A and B are shown apart, each in its own frame.
Chain A
Amino acid sequence: MELLVKNGFVYDPINGVDGERMDITIKDGKIVEKVNEHKARKIDASGMIVMPGGVDIHCHIAGSEVNAGRLLRPEDHFRDFERKTSITRSGVGYSIPSTFTTGYRYARMGYTTIMNPSMPPLEAKHTHEELSDTPIVDKASYPLLGDWWFVLEYLKDDKIEECARHVAWMISSTRGYAIKIVNPGGLEAWGFGHNVNSLDDQVPCFGITPREIIRGLCKVNRLLNLPHTIHVHTNNLGKPGNYQTTIKTMQCVEDLADGKPAIHITHCQFSAFKGDSWATLESGAEEIANYVNVHSHVTMDMGQVVFTDTTTMTADGPFQYTLYELSGNKWVNHDVETETSAGIVPFRYRRKSYVHAMQWSIGLELALLIKDPWKIFLTTDHPNGGPFTAYPKIIAWLMSRKARNATLKRINSRARSRSLLPSIDRELNFYEIAIMTRAGQAKALGLKNKGHLGVGADADIAIYNVNPEETDPSKKYKRVRKAFKRAAYTIKGGKIVAKDGEILRHMEGDTMWLDVQVSEPIKISEDMKRRFRDYWTVEYENYPVGEDYLAISNPIAVRANV
């Protein structure tokens, strides 16, 4: 099928296209040089913005953790539900929507590629089952490897090559996409009721430090030539004064970078607190931005907070326990055998709370103070900072001082006086928004066919009904917000899947995973099989996820240097 998107204002940052009026031609799911103008179906995009389909680098949409959240929160469901139509299936949930609804809602906003960032390897099958049920969008998962016993043991003995081969096996057999590290060392310590408080604390029973874990896995990542960097949720997340830990985490892999990105700090807002206690909490955004502005080896995402009722869920068990104690809400604590942990706590961010208002401010400060939009991406760490459906709101805040001031007026007055936002004049333009919501994320993830509209790219396109020549986003931010909420058209794989926020077609999305190829086939030693029998509830033979398990498998071959 051929498709011709005519006359839109195209924003394609990877190819340097900044709001030029041009046509995009699509054939068989790819972007091509030209199509037969008479035969092709035409979409008139004049007066509209044309961007590559959105890419979300970090959003918890599938897996046992998300599902436990759904079970924990019946009250999240009854207010927000979607009836079935002749095309779509019904679904419920505001902060943790059911799988089908998740796919539809992303598609409505013009997003076509999403990354599920925490997959305990043991629960990879469950995660892939849910991902297969998430329609339209392409997706991938990051297995949690930062507190994996074998990794800790290899790194302790400084066996980087062996560790790399093991990680290669892990990623391929869990059908993962990148190395996710959550509170390195802390999760293992949590198994004993403890946590680690700095990069140089010892992890109980393993005699290794968080610094060694991060550096080791960073080297592994390099050896394996993985397309994404290590994806790090820092130590001390969500504790006042943690911005120093964050800077130290970035510093600790500085020498391993050789000019290329080496580390992705995820939901950085939660790791940018200054002050000694909640009462004296301040923003560490400026210090982090100053560091990131002069270093090229870091990318990060915002983890922006929006004022709403949401559900927090991370693999960071000790952090979730702290949150449970703070909020007094219901809580799920989960220990995934030898691999990782998890916790879930429902949470409401309130405008009038000093801490929550500061968090809101810190996220935006980070995005605005970091000068290069290729280094910071728009996320809410869905659902931790708020559901992904809040992205249009955040886009409006980033593009308009007026929008920020309107919210500033309504937040806690002490937070307002401490916020750096009134002193920041920067307003992003559509080109920068295109980088932060798709191009930058695709580049950081090493997705060659996503996030741009060059010839050969996947025909994932979002068209938004806002005219950049007529609408000044800094003044008419509500118009922009509305446009980004419901894409005029969402095209996935060359097919129109949504128009004006209505889903027109139910289709399956790919599950991308890395087929890491090492020089000789990886042999799993007898010793390891024995340990599987000793320590896991699952036998080694049942552990890997078969490729037939994925609805549509999209392996990406990677040649490793080991």
Chain B
Amino acid sequence: MVKLYPCKEFRFPIVAECINPEVFRGKTSKEIEMLKVWEGNKQRKLSELFKIEMADGDVENIVIQGDLSKVRKIGAGMKSGEITIHGNVGLHLGEEMQDGKITVYGDVGGWVGSMMEGGTIEIHGNASDYLGAPYRGCSEGMHGGKIIVHGNVGNEAGARMRKGIIKIYGNAGQFAGLRMRDGTIYIQKDAEARIGACMKGGKIVVGGFLESVLPTFTIEGVREKVKIEEGETAAGPFYLFLGDIVEHGEGKLYILKDKNPHLRVYEKFL
């Protein structure tokens, strides 16, 4: 296990792609200390910013303790191993991650798990905007893997998603599942407006209150339960909407009936 503690309170953004089991593998503690990180526009050694403790020979298990809200790109592109963070984390955590596990006991910034292809990210706190979403302009978002958030998330969670699953046990902001192609987004509590805008496929399940469904969705029926993933189903009944018609989409939007009595007007179209 490798333990990292921030040496100070960071004032400038830190880009630390090297905090990654993939990079640490096969390196001695000396070599790990010499890894390069950017602090603002200055390049520093990892040991200048973090106190590094090697608990045993296993460098693929990284534990970080402290406030990392200015630190970006931790675990970017990681393929194996485990990162556990006790504290808040900044942007781009686990970006383009392929496998492995990241656990955060705190809040995270934007673009967590952006364009990820595999692995698991679990957040015991809140997540900001663009959870699992790609950068501006990119047409392909999350390609696989799993993101679990126990708190709330910001806007555009799971935008342009192609595969994989995002589970949110709190509330979600606007535009969840924007331009999604496939995959699953499960929101246990409430969601804000414009959910599933321009979606072409995939599944969004809302277990709480949703103020309105976009007019470009049509009601398809009522379902008693919905499968979230292997071995997990959400009990309904759920209204099932299909859309987004603007994009000739066939995405499925499930909304819990009990919490949304105002959607009963749609029942006359069934």
Contact = CB atoms under 8 A, between A and B. Distances in A.
Interface in A323-338: 329-330
Contacts of B139: 75, 329-330, 346
Interface in B138-194: 138-139
Contacts of A74: 135-137
Contacts of A346: 139
**List of 5 A-B pairs having minimum Cβ-Cβ separation, nearest first:** A75-B137, A74-B137, A75-B138, A74-B136, A73-B137
B134 interface: yes
A346 B139 CA distance: 10
Most chain B CB within a 10 A radius of its CB, from A72, A75, A329, A330? A75
A78 interface: yes
Interface in B77-100: none
A313 B134 CA distance: 24
Contacts of A329: 139
Interface residues of B, number: 6
Interface of A: 72-76, 78, 329-330, 346
Nearest to A77: B137
Nearest to A72: B137
A199 B105 CA distance: 68
Contacts of A76: 137
* A-side interface mostly: mixed
A73 B135 CA distance: 11
A330 B160 CA distance: 13
Contacts of A78: 135
Nearest to B248: A328
A72 B139 CA distance: 12
Interface in B94-145: 134-139
A76 B138 CA distance: 8
A73 B134 CA distance: 13
A123 B93 CA distance: 43
A73 B137 CA distance: 6
Given A74-B137, A75-B134, A75-B137, 13 more contacts: A72-B137, A73-B137, A74-B135, A74-B136, A75-B135, A75-B136, A75-B138, A75-B139, A76-B137, A78-B135, A329-B139, A330-B139, A346-B139
B248 to A, nearest CB: 9
A146 to B, nearest CB: 32
Contacts of A73: 137
Nearest to A73: B137
Nearest to B247: A328
Contacts of A72: 137
A238 B9 CA distance: 58
A257 to B, nearest CB: 46
Contacts of B134: 75
A348 to B, nearest CB: 9
Contacts of A75: 134-139
A335 B135 CA distance: 29
A460 to B, nearest CB: 37
A329 B137 CA distance: 11
Contacts of B137: 72-76
16 contacts: A72-B137, A73-B137, A74-B135, A74-B136, A74-B137, A75-B134, A75-B135, A75-B136, A75-B137, A75-B138, A75-B139, A76-B137, A78-B135, A329-B139, A330-B139, A346-B139
A74 B138 CA distance: 8
Interface string B17-30: 00000000000000
A330 B198 CA distance: 13
Contacts of A330: 139
Contacts of B135: 74-75, 78
B141 to A, nearest CB: 11
Contacts of B138: 75
A296 B136 CA distance: 49
A75 B135 CA distance: 7
B51 to A, nearest CB: 30
A188 to B, nearest CB: 31
A74 B139 CA distance: 11
A72 B138 CA distance: 10
A81 to B, nearest CB: 13
Nearest to A329: B139
A76 B135 CA distance: 11
Contacts of B136: 74-75
A446 B22 CA distance: 56
Nearest to A74: B137
A161 to B, nearest CB: 50
A330 to B, nearest CB: 8
A330 B138 CA distance: 10
Which of B134, B137, B138 has its CB near the most chain A CB atoms (within 10 A)?
B137
B200 to A, nearest CB: 8
A559 B134 CA distance: 56
Nearest to B134: A75
A541 B124 CA distance: 66
A63 to B, nearest CB: 21
Interface in B42-65: none
A72 B137 CA distance: 8
A72 B136 CA distance: 10
A329 B247 CA distance: 11
A74 B134 CA distance: 12
A310 to B, nearest CB: 13
A346 B136 CA distance: 14
A339 B107 CA distance: 55
Nearest to B139: A329
A40 to B, nearest CB: 42
A330 B139 CA distance: 9
Nearest to A76: B137
A297 B135 CA distance: 49
A491 B137 CA distance: 38
